[in-house]
Amino acid sequence: MRLTETAAIVTGGASGLGHATARALAGHGAQVFALDLAAAVEVAPVVDSMTYVEADVTEAGQLAAAVNQATGCGMPLRTAVNCAGVTAFAPILSDAGHHDLALFRRVVEVNLIGTFNLMVLAAEAIASTEPLPDNTRGVLINTASIGAFDGVSGTTAYSASKSGVAALTLPSARDLASHGIRVMAIAPGLFDTPMFGMGQATDEIRAAAGATVPLPKRLGHPEEFAQLVIDIVDRDYLNGEVIRFDGGLRLG
């Protein structure tokens, strides 16, 4: 599927994986609507063919307004990428007490329900567009995590939410096939983004983490994630699959 003269939506588009993805989509000819919280949008760099939209993925009304903005740009919406997410570290039981239920709910609300929110709204918009060859109309790409499969201690909320994102992939692809919409997910490993190490990682911590990756022994670059998104958009036969993108890393 070609991106030229189409619209695309990216959540979490003001930083990290989302920003790299939005820039890549814009660079390949799409008119990109990068959704993020107001604080992130205020400091995001200006990029040609990108429009920042203040939207909280947990607020269905804000997402609906953003999708309407994208569909009103005069180009068909063909691509939606869910990159917005939060992380948390909290053991179920610790000396400080038990896992806070509100924290668990918040992580699931953003990572899983927020993803599903955009999927539904974007799918409805994409389904109304004219079909392309092979009766395809567009693609939804979600961000899972290797934590969905190799969750480590203290990440129950995050791992549960990302497992849910991974589990959405196949049934959603089957649901939307008759509408010409593909559904894919990427499960990234350790990537050098502002969220890595919950924003507290030093250069030494980054280097040590990168050394645990079998090959190449480094953290992933957001631009590599973005390129995989472009590859998925371009290859119509990719559908209903979760791609681990982690350099062969398996968390202990």
| Residues designated as active site | 158
Phi, psi of 247 (to 5 degrees): 65, 20
| Alpha-carbon gap, residue 252 to 249, rounded angstroms | 9
- What residues contact residue 152 under an 8 Å CB cut-off, 6+ apart? 159, 251, 252
Phi, psi of 198 (to 5 degrees): 55, 35
Residue 227 tokens read as: 């390129």
Phi, psi of 177 (to 5 degrees): -60, -40
**HEC sequence for 185-233:** EEEECCECCCCHHHHCCCHHHHHHHHHCCCCCCCCECHHHHHHHHHHHH
| Alpha-carbon gap, residue 223 to 15, rounded angstroms | 12
| Alpha-carbon gap, residue 8 to 30, rounded angstroms | 6
DSSP for 62-100 reads: HHHHHHHHHHTTSS-EEEEEE---------SEETTEEPP
